[in-house]
Amino acid sequence: MFYTFARNFVQVILTIIGGRFKVQNKDKIPEAPFVVVSTHTSWMEILYLGFAIKPLQIHYMAKQELFKTKTLNWLMRHLNAFPVNRENPGPSAIKLPIRLLKDGKVVGIFPSGTRKSAGLHLKRGAVTVALKGKVPILPAVYDGPKTVGELFKRKKVIIRFGDPIPFNDKDIDQKELLEIKSEEVLQTFERLQAEIDATKKK
């Protein structure tokens, strides 16, 4: 209930400030459960991706520092976020997201930075969780303002989804499969960004 209220409230505010945003390829969103992944360079990707995927809710993997105080802990958990130690994740880090997937939920993982710096995080995070949870990965790319200042300039916002990436390759070694799927996700990010750039030129 709180998640839905907060999402709708924030969407109204950001629409008033920054204008409407465009969702491309929304028909590619599969039925839950799945893991949704987007490169993460600012907090706005998380918000707009949450708007774009409505009515589904995303359960976000977030760094444990955001849960330190009672107030933040309450807020983050009511926004469907769960903590992970990014410095030393360990095997236990994937137990909760896998349980969420088995309960039919959507898990959101946002590796930091660009393609080069995102690779390692993808291998240890989203791809591993999707493989263990036996669900597809939904790749998404955000193109829009990264600061409040850019938001007030009403810079165009686009969320573009790619085809879900399945994990049904049973004859491939698990380690090799993680490598293959990680590279596929990263290549999809690049392709989606190129497609967004192409639509903006029209």
Whether 200 shows a pLDDT value over 90: the answer reads no
b/e string for 31-69 if b means 16 or more Cβ within 10 A?
A: ebbbbbbbbbeeebbbbbbbbbbeebbbbbbbeeeebee
- pTM for this one? 0.88
b/e string for 78-96 if b means 16 or more Cβ within 10 A?
A: ebbbbbbebeeeeeebbeb
pLDDT digits over 118-161, tens only?
Answer: 444 544 578 889 999 999 999 999 999 988 888 888 888 999 99
Higher pLDDT, 51 or 65: 51
| Mean of pLDDT values over 29-43 | 90
Q: What is the pLDDT of residue 189?
A: 92
Taking the alpha carbons at both ends of the chain, their separation in whole angstroms is 40
